[in-house]
C-alpha cells in the first residue's frame, strides 16, 4: 500500500491491554488471558522487519473495565479503582508503551486526555522526543489535530495552523502549528471493527478520499479491521493494495518536477510536444521558517489503468 507508518490499538475503550504489562494491580491483560500472546511485541517486531514506522493508540479517557468515562471514574458502578489509582495506571501503562519499544512515529490520544495529568504527561513525552501525537495539544511540540470527520474528506482549504482544542479546517491566522490528520475506515459505513456484513469501499471511493484528504493538506490514516483471530481479511488487503498501486502510478513519476530553492515563485513549463496534465502537486518545505521554498510537480494520472476511466 505504500504506508509510511502503522499505529496499533494497544488498548481501546474496553480497557483490555494487549501487551505483557507489569502494572501489578491491573490484571485485564493478555498475560492473564487464555491466549497469552504479547501482541504489541509482535507488532513492533513486524514493523521493524519491514522497515516502517510504528506507534500506539491508547485511550486514556474511556475504560469500561475500570468504569471510566470522560476521564472520570464513575461512582457507584463497581469501579475497581479510585480516581487517583486510575490516573496512576494510565501513566504506568504509557511509560511501558513509550519506554520499552524504541522510537515511535506516532501515538494516539483518542478523545483527548485528562487535563489534570498535563504535567505528568508532558514529562512522559521525554521518552519519545521525536514522536507526533494525535490530539495531544498542550503536551508536546508536535501535536496533530483531528480533521473533524471520519468520512475521509478534509475541508478545503485546510490549514496547518489551528487554535488548540479545535478541529476541522484550521485558520491561516491561528498561532499554533497544529496540522490535521484525516482518518477513515476501509469498511463502509464508518465501521471500525470487523463486520462480515459490511463491504469495503470501492477503489473509486478510496481514490476520492485520498485526493480530498492528502490532497487537501492533511496526513491520512486508514483503519484496518482484523478478524477476531487477528488476521486481516483478504478483501481489505486487496483494496488497500489497489489504492497503493493507484497512488504510485499517478504520482510517483511526475511529468515535470521543479524544486525552487531560490525563493522565486515563477514556474515555466516548456515542451516540444503537447503534454496532457490533469493535476498539479504543490508542496511547501515546512522546515524552512521563511516559507519561500516550494516543490512543484505536474502529473498525467493514468486513471484508465486503474479502471476509473479518463
What's the CATH number where 213 sits?
3.20.20.80
pLDDT band at 198 (very low <50, low <70, confident <90, very high): very high
Residues 187 and 103 in one domain: yes
Chosen domain end from 223, 246, 269: 246
- Give the three-state DSSP class for 237: helix
Residues 237 and 264 in one domain: no
Structural domain containing residue 304? 253-310
Tell me what the mean pLDDT of segment 59-79 comes to.
93
- At 113-152, the pLDDT tens digits run 999 999 999 999 999 999 999 999 999 989 999 999 999 9
- Give the three-state DSSP class for 178: coil
Answer yes or no: is pLDDT of 310 > 50. no
| 157 φ, ψ (degrees, to nearest 5) | -75, 155
CB 104 within 8 A of CB 55: yes
Residues 270 and 239 in one domain: no
Residues 46 and 186 in one domain: yes
In the prediction, which pLDDT does 257 show? Answer: 73
Residues 193 and 176 in one domain: yes
For cell 515563485, the residue is 265
Quote the CA–CA distance of 194 and 228 in Å, as a whole number. 8
High-pLDDT (> 90) share of the chain, %: 74
Closest C-alpha among 132, 245, 241 to residue 186: 241
Count of domains forming the chain: 2
CB 223 within 8 A of CB 185: yes
pTM to 2 decimal places: 0.88
- At 16-37, the pLDDT tens digits run 999 999 999 999 999 999 999 9
Residues 156 and 284 in one domain: no
Answer yes or no: is pLDDT of 253 > 50. yes
Chosen domain end from 226, 246, 266: 246
Tell me what the mean pLDDT of segment 101-124 comes to.
95
Residues 9 and 94 in one domain: yes
Q: Which residue has the higher pLDDT, 304 or 13?
A: 13
Residues 49 and 76 in one domain: yes
In the prediction, which pLDDT does 298 show? Answer: 66
Give every CB contact of residue 143 below 8 A, 6+ residues apart in sequence.
Answer: 132, 133, 134, 135, 136, 137, 164, 178
Residues 101 and 201 in one domain: yes
Q: How many CA atoms lie within 13 A of 27 on its CB side?
A: 4
Please tell me the least confidently modeled range out of 8-22, 40-54, 74-88. 74-88
Alpha helices (H) in 51-116, listed in sequence order = 83-99
Answer yes or no: is pLDDT of 108 > 70. yes
Q: Are strands 106-108 and 5-11 parallel, antiparallel or unpaired?
A: unpaired
- At 240-250, the pLDDT tens digits run 999 999 999 99
Residues 170 and 59 in one domain: yes
Tell me what the mean pLDDT of segment 42-46 comes to.
97
Q: Are strands 279-284 and 294-299 parallel, antiparallel or unpaired?
A: antiparallel
Chosen domain end from 229, 246, 263: 246
Q: Which residue has the higher pLDDT, 14 or 167?
A: 14
In the prediction, which pLDDT does 254 show? Answer: 80
Tell me what the mean pLDDT of segment 196-215 comes to.
95
Residues 261 and 113 in one domain: no
Residues 213 and 274 in one domain: no
Answer yes or no: is pLDDT of 309 > 60. no
Which segments within 85-176 are labelled E, that is strand?
Answer: 106-108, 132-134, 143-146
Amino acid at each position: 500500500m505504500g504506508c509510511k507508518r502503522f499505529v496499533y490499538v494497544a488498548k481501546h475503550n474496553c480497557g483490555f491491554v494487549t501487551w505483557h504489562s507489569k502494572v501489578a494491580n491491573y490484571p485485564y491483560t493478555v498475560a492473564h488471558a487464555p491466549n497469552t500472546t504479547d501482541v504489541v511485541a509482535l507488532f513492533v517486531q513486524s514493523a521493524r522487519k519491514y522497515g516502517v514506522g510504528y506507534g500506539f493508540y491508547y485511550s486514556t479517557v474511556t475504560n469500561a473495565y475500570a468504569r471510566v468515562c470522560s476521564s472520570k471514574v464513575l461512582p457507584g458502578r463497581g469501579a475497581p479503582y479510585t480516581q487517583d489509582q486510575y490516573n496512576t495506571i494510565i501513566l504506568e501503562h504509557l511509560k511501558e508503551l513509550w519506554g520499552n519499544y524504541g522510537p515511535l512515529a506516532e501515538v494516539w490520544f483518542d478523545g483527548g486526555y485528562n487535563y489534570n495529568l498535563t504535567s505528568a504527561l508532558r514529562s512522559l513525552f521525554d521518552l519519545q522526543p521525536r514522536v507526533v501525537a494525535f490530539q495531544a495539544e498542550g503536551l508536546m511540540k508536535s501535536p496533530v489535530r483531528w480533521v473533524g470527520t471520519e468520512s475521509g474528506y478534509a475541508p478545503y482549504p485546510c490549514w496547518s495552523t489551528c487554535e488548540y482544542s479545535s478541529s476541522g479546517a484550521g485558520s491561516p491566522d491561528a498561532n499554533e502549528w497544529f496540522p490535521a490528520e484525516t482518518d477513515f475506515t476501509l469498511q463502509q459505513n464508518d465501521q471500525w471493527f470487523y463486520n462480515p456484513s459490511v463491504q469495503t469501499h470501492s477503489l473509486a471511493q478510496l481514490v476520492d478520499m485520498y485526493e480530498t484528504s492528502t490532497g487537501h493538506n492533511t496526513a491520512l490514516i486508514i483503519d484496518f479491521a482484523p478478524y477476531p483471530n487477528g488476521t486481516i481479511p483478504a478483501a481489505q488487503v486487496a483494496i488497500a493494495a489497489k489504492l497503493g498501486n493507484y497512488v504510485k502510478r499517478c504520482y510517483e513519476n511526475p511529468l515535470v518536477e521543479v524544486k525552487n530553492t531560490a525563493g522565486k515563485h515563477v514556474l515555466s513549463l516548456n515542451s516540444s510536444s503537447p503534454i496532457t496534465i490533469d493535476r498539479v502537486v504543490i508542496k511547501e518545505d515546512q522546515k524552512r521558517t521563511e516559507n519561500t521554498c516550494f516543490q512543484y510537480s505536474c502529473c498525467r494520472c493514468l486513471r484508465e489503468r486503474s479502471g476509473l476511466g479518463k
